[in-house]
Amino acid sequence: MTEKYIVNLTKEEHQQLLSLIEKGKTSSRTFKRAHILLLADEGHPDEVVAQMLHIGESTVHRTRQKFVEGGVEFALRESPRPGVKRKLDGKGEALLVATACSAAPEGQQRWTMQLLAQRLVEIQLVESISDETVQRTLKKTKSSLGSKSNGASRK
């Protein structure tokens, strides 16, 4: 099968990639992309490169495509990843910590992650939130889970 995106490296590009690999001070993804480009330049098809590097053929194909469309730097560069929108902004996190530090609801000995999550929904700060997100947020803000200082319990 002939490849749609042909990699033809200049001597300078070839040397740049070899130098990058020899230094070893780069991310593993960049390292793999450099290897992909060098092997593709030698004329190996996508499936062979994928087998040699133990990666998916689509990764090889995308790297070839990025090289042809934008050159070596573009092919090596990491594309931004959108990620998931945060449930709580800074004010929401502050309110969560303040709630966890307040007196527990009537009939409860202390706040639990589930109770805190329910309270955030009740006050319409968020439409929904899991007790795990509450726990991670409290941990991130260095609130001591389960200690007497903030009254929150993991149970």
66 in the same domain as 19: yes
What is the number of structural domains in the chain? 2
The parent domain of residue 37 ranges over 11-76
Phi-psi label, residue 28: left if phi above 0, alpha if psi -120 to 50, beta otherwise = alpha
63 in the same domain as 16: yes
99 in the same domain as 45: no
Which tens digit of pLDDT belongs to each residue from 94-137?
999 999 999 999 999 999 999 999 999 999 999 999 999 999 99
Determine, yes or no, domain membership for 84. Answer: no
28 in the same domain as 64: yes
- Stated pTM of the model: 0.56
CA 10 to CA 7: how far, in whole Å? 10
